[in-house]
C-alpha cells in the first residue's frame, strides 16, 4: 500500500514527522489533534513498511515509567529528482525523502523547444542518478519539474510560461514518457514555498508568504499549513498586481504591474534610459546606483515602492506571520530595502504591519530541491 492509499490520519502523521520530527507519539498526537490510539493505529503500518522508524528515547528523559520513543521519517526510504527549468538552463537535484540533496547538477539549454527541453530533463535525471551512485536509495520514485508561469499541477500542464514561450504544454506527461518515471510539475515559486514550509524559514508557522524577486516577481502563500495553488493553478501572482508604473508593458501584456517596474529586466531597461546607455546590464545598473547616480538610484527606489505595495497587499489579504523575500534580485536588495519597508509600513493595515519580513537568498539548487519536495509531497498528499 502506498502512502497516498492510506487514511488521511496517516498522511497527517507522516507530514508532521517530516516537517517537525523526530517526535514522540504523544507529541505527534498533541500537534495533530489525534488521540493516542489513532496515532498508534496509523503509525504501526508506516513502521512496518519502513516509511518511519523508531530512534529511541528523547535526550534528557528520565529512565522511569513507560519509555517514550522518538519516531522519525526514514530519509532513505525513497529518492526523488527535482528539476528547475529556466529560459536557458536546467538545475537538477536528486534528493532523499526529506529533500536532502544526494547529487546536484546543471545543464545548459541550447533551445527552448518543448521536445528538446524534455529530452534534456531526461538526460539530467539520468546523470544525477549516476553521480549519486551508491548514495542513491534505489531507483527514482518520481520527478518534480518546476518552472515560472501559469502551471497547473493538477493536470500536469504548463498553461503559459512567458520565459519559455510555452502555451498548453502537457509537460508532466511528456517527461514521464521520456523517463519512464512518474512526474509532477509545479510553479517554481510554489515548489520553493513547500521546502520553506517543511525545512526553511516557514517551518512551524501557521501562515507565511514567500516573495521572489528576479526575472519575474512571484509569491508562494502558505495558509493554515497548506501551500495555496488556486482553483485553476494560479495563486500568488503578485507580480501582476496593478501598482501603477506609467506606460511600461508587462510580460502579461498589461501595464502598471509590479513586474513591469521591479523585475530584473524592467530595472535594467529603466536604468539604461536613466543613464543614457543602451548597453547597460543589471550589474552596471547596480554599480551606478551604489556609486550615487541619482537617476539610476531613482529606478531602484521606484522598484522598491512597487514591491512594498505588493508586500502590503499580501499582508492585508492573508495576514501572514512572516514574509520571506528571495530570488536572484535580493543580491541588490540594499538599493531598495528602505523604500520597500517605508511603503510597506505606510500601506499595511493595522496589525498587518507587524508581519516579520525576512530576506533569504536561496540558490537555484534550492528551487530544484523544491521540485523534489513537491514530488515527495504527492506521496501522501496527492493532487485532487
- Judged by average pLDDT, the poorest of 14-23, 187-196, 272-281, 299-308 is 14-23
Q: Tell me if 263 sits within 8 A of 214, measured CB to CB.
A: yes
Distance of CA 196 to the CA centre of its chain: 7
d(CA 355, CA 141): 38
Within 8 A by CB and 6+ apart from 300, the residues are: 267, 285, 289, 332, 335, 336, 339
126-181 confidence digits (pLDDT tens): 999 998 875 656 689 999 999 998 898 889 999 999 889 999 999 999 999 999 99
**Quick one: pLDDT band at residue 233, thresholds 50, 70, 90?**
low
- Residue closest to 179 by CA, chosen among 251, 94, 264, 97: 94
pTM: 0.86
d(CA 264, CA 280): 12
Between residues 138 and 115, the one the model is more confident about: 115
Q: Is the pLDDT of residue 265 over 60?
A: yes
Q: Which three cell numbers stand for residue 205?
A: 508557522
Q: Tell me if 183 sits within 8 A of 233, measured CB to CB.
A: no
The pLDDT of 75-96, averaged and rounded, is: 94
Within 8 A by CB and 6+ apart from 256, the residues are: 242, 243, 244, 245, 246, 248, 250
Grid-cell match 544525477, residue found: 128
The pLDDT of 326-331, averaged and rounded, is: 88
The overall average pLDDT reported for the chain is: 89
34-75 confidence digits (pLDDT tens): 998 999 998 999 998 888 899 876 655 555 555 678 999 998
Amino acid at each position: 500500500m502506498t502512502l497516498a492509499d492510506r487514511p488521511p490520519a496517516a498522511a497527517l502523521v507522516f507530514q508532521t514527522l517530516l516537517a517537525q520530527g523526530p517526535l514522540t507519539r504523544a507529541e505527534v498526537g498533541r500537534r495533530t489533534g489525534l488521540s493516542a490510539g489513532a496515532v498508534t493505529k496509523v503509525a504501526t503500518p508506516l513502521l512496518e513498511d519502513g516509511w518511519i522508524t523508531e530512534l529511541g528515547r528523547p535526550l534528557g528523559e528520565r529512565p522511569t515509567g513507560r519509555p517514550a520513543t522518538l519516531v522519525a521519517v526514514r530519509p532513505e526510504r525513497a529518492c526523488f529528482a527535482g528539476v528547475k527549468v529556466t529560459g536557458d538552463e536546467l538545475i537538477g537535484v536528486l534528493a532523499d525523502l526529506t529533500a536532502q540533496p544526494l547529487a546536484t547538477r546543471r545543464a545548459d539549454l541550447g533551445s527552448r523547444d518543448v521536445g528538446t527541453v524534455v529530452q534534456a530533463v531526461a538526460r539530467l535525471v539520468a546523470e544525477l542518478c549516476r553521480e549519486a551512485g551508491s548514495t542513491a536509495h534505489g531507483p527514482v520514485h518520481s520527478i518534480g519539474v518546476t518552472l515560472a508561469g501559469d502551471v497547473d499541477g493538477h493536470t500536469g500542464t504548463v498553461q503559459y510560461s512567458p520565459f519559455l514561450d510555452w502555451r498548453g504544454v502537457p509537460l508532466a506527461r511528456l517527461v514521464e514518457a521520456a523517463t519512464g518515471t512518474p512526474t509532477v510539475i509545479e510553479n517554481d515559486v510554489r515548489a520553493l514555498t513547500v521546502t520553506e514550509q517543511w525545512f526553511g524559514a516557514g517551518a512551524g508557522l501557521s501562515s507565511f508568504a514567500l516573495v521572489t524577486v528576479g526575472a519575474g516577481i512571484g509569491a508562494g502563500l502558505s495558509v493554515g499549513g497548506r501551500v495555496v495553488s488556486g482553483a485553476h493553478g494560479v495563486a500568488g501572482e503578485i507580480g501582476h498586481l496593478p501598482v501603477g508604473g506609467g506606460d511600461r508593458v508587462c510580460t502579461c501584456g498589461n501595464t502598471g504591474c509590479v513586474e513591469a517596474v521591479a523585475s530584473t529586466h524592467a530595472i535594467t531597461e529603466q536604468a539604461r534610459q536613466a543613464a543614457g546607455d543602451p548597453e547597460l546590464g543589471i550589474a552596471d545598473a547596480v554599480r551606478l546606483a551604489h556609486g550615487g547616480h541619482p537617476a539610476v538610484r531613482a529606478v531602484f527606489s521606484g522598484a522598491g515602492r512597487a514591491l512594498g505595495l505588493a508586500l502590503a497587499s499580501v499582508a492585508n489579504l492573508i495576514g501572514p506571520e512572516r514574509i520571506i523575500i528571495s530570488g536572484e534580485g535580493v543580491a541588490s536588495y540594499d538599493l531598495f530595502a528602505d523604500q520597500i519597508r517605508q511603503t510597506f509600513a505606510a500601506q499595511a493595515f493595522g496589525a498587518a504591519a507587524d508581519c516579520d519580513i525576512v530576506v533569504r537568498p536561496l540558490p537555484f539548487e534550492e528551487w530544484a530541491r523544491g521540485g523534489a519536495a513537491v514530488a515527495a509531497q504527492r506521496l501522501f498528499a496527492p493532487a485532487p
